[in-house]
Structure 1
Amino acid sequence: MSPSPSLIVALDFDNATAARDMVNRLAPGRCRLKVGKELFVRAGPSLVREWVDDGWDVFLDLKFHDIPNTVAAACRAAADLDVWMINVHALGGPAMLAAAREAVDEAPRRQPLLTAVTVLTSHDEATLQAIGLQGTPVEAVSRLAALAASAGLDGVVCSAQEASAVREQGGPSFRRVTPGVRPAGMAVDDQRRIQTPASAIAAGATDLVVGRPITRSADPAGAVEMILDEMQVTTGG
């Protein structure tokens, strides 16, 4: 059974004050939060803990990619923050993925969902060729999703354009977390493989990551509701 679709707001801010101001304009019951590298490096784990304590589900998007022991230690530290989801890079390989899975399974309190990044949504086939990965983005994502599924991960981060192929690799309960989602008419920015919320859900995405269309809106809470409405119509909710 597929997870119920959810909306994750990407907090791509360079300081804690701006991030807090945005979060204060949103409601925990309507969306989740994504904290990436820039905000985490500037504000640290205390800000993540603050939001978790306030009732937010936090996706800690740090994309761990290192030797297995180092990634396992990082996953343990992330799990100690009681976040909802963490991620690693599938390119780290089977041993690293297995080490991450084992570390998360040992979490003493809340066990976060563990997902793997496949191919960044800013990459296209030309980029893959430049870094030495063979085939199309769909083919590369399918290979990496199979690795993640074999290691027992809960899902992957992928473009909505690959969500259907990922579902075939991991089954309906395997999460397909999709950045690069833009409501119709919004700027593409630095993304290459994008979809609208409706088309992403229809393609098989389970969790939509949306940043600038919400965080740069004059009415962020209203933007959240607009996207949720589109997701509900698509899923028949």
Structure 2
Amino acid sequence: MNTPFLPLDQDPPEGAVLAGEYVLGVLDASQRRVAEQRIAEEPAFAAEVSTWESHFMALAEKVAPVAVPEYVWARIGSALGFGPPVRGAVAPERTSFWNSVGFWRWLGVGGFATAAVCAIALLNALRVPEPQPPQVVVAPPVVEEAVPMASTLARDDGKPGFVATVDQRSGRMTITPLDPVIEQGRVQELWLIPADGTPRSLGIVSADQAQSGLVPEQWLALLDTRAIFAITLEPPGGGPGGKPTGPVTAKGAIALL
């Protein structure tokens, strides 16, 4: 049977599927009665059924028949509930392909599996699968590896005045006072002095507790092993004009951890 390809958004003809299922004998009793009524009343549907029967019978005819003892047929008929044929003037009921002797002889030589596979494949070909929603692949978040750096800011006498740690990627910095130089009326101001020698103020820091903050983003590229941190004593509010004016009380190079 030549079945035209259908657009993906178009359902197959209902009659074609029903006719195929009728020929295969997979309908329940009520569905079968509906199909038989349509055969009697609708020439187009009857022709569809005949087309399916011809298609499946062509498959059966490709297998050479093998004689089977009569008692085997009797046992098969009894198991399937087939009674002896009724003879009379009444027109015989249309014989389903599934109940035909030719089909069961084909079944006797192993054709059943082939028929079932072919039938299911043909019926499935008529049924257009429902479109599945596209799968959304969510990439895992990229976690940037931290680049830890540290500096010990030593006083002139060699004792550590502060210790600082910083992540070069995020700019997160923590500075902890250890033994800073304290002068009344002065504040501790932290400076970043990169390779170009120009001090950049990182703000006023506490002389008695650890503090955490962010290095300005535009200065992150200046954080390398050529730069140093320094502490100066400045008037309240910090160095005038953003420049150091007081003495350097602690300084230290930056090292990668």
Range class of TM-score, shorter chain:
under 0.3
TM-score, normalising length from structure 2?
A: 0.21
- Which is greater in Rg? 2
Decide which structure has greater strand share.
2
TM-score, normalising length from structure 1?
A: 0.22
